[in-house]
Amino acid sequence: NILPNGGSILYVVEKLWESLSYNQESDIFFVKPIDGIIGKKFAPDKGHIGMDFSVKEGTPVVASASGTVIFANYTTNNGYVMIIQHKNNYLSMYKHCSALLKTTRNFVIQGESIALSGNTGTNTTGAHLHFEIWKNSQPIDPEKLLIN
């Protein structure tokens, strides 16, 4: 960029700031919710709309992105489940937990502990975390959005 005649340090600082900043409203980043081996990948054609992390029961689960807990309760099929609403119409879901550490309407920060992995519900075959990401009511392959 060419400085205007008689340019100022303020102009330089503003241009530097513009080049370094990004539009936070459109960007969202997800981190892995748990340290574990991926046991089952996203396969919507086979009815699996998330990914499974094979872990020991009681392994800490963290919020994949910051947001508001909109569901935290027990369900027959998926056991203890937590759903977090994120900006830009994203949802993340954490299923088969042994314990939930947050309740509905809690705001959680990315990386904050929210649950413990488990083997709860009738739709499970062993200790693991089933993790889903949705955008605009459509499931998305979490591996395409995870930054780590």
Where does the pLDDT of residue 79 fall: very low under 50, low under 70, confident under 90, or very high at 90 and above?
A: very high
**Mean pLDDT lowest among 22-26, 62-66, 138-142:** 22-26
Asked whether residue 60 carries a pLDDT value surpassing 60, the answer given is yes
Q: Which residues pair with 80 in a beta bridge?
A: 74, 97
Sign of CA dihedral 125, 62, 70, 65: negative
**Mean pLDDT lowest among 16-30, 37-51, 63-77, 84-98:** 16-30
CA angle 24, 25, 26 (to 5 degrees): 90
Asked whether residue 22 carries a pLDDT value surpassing 70, the answer given is no
Average pLDDT, the chain: 89
Taking the chain, what is the end-to-end CA distance rounded to the nearest angstrom? 35
pLDDT of residue 5: 57
Q: Enter the tokens of residue 7.
A: 């340019």
- The answer to whether residues 128 and 53 touch, using CB atoms and an 8 Å cutoff, is yes
**Each residue's pLDDT tens digit, 94-147:** 999 999 999 999 999 999 999 999 999 999 989 999 999 999 999 999 999 998
Sequential DSSP letters for 65-120? S-EEEEEEEEETTTEEEEEEEETTTEEEEEEEESEE-S-TT-EE-TT-EEEE-B--
Sign of CA dihedral 148, 93, 111, 58: negative
**Each residue's pLDDT tens digit, 28-38:** 899 999 999 99
pLDDT of residue 24: 43
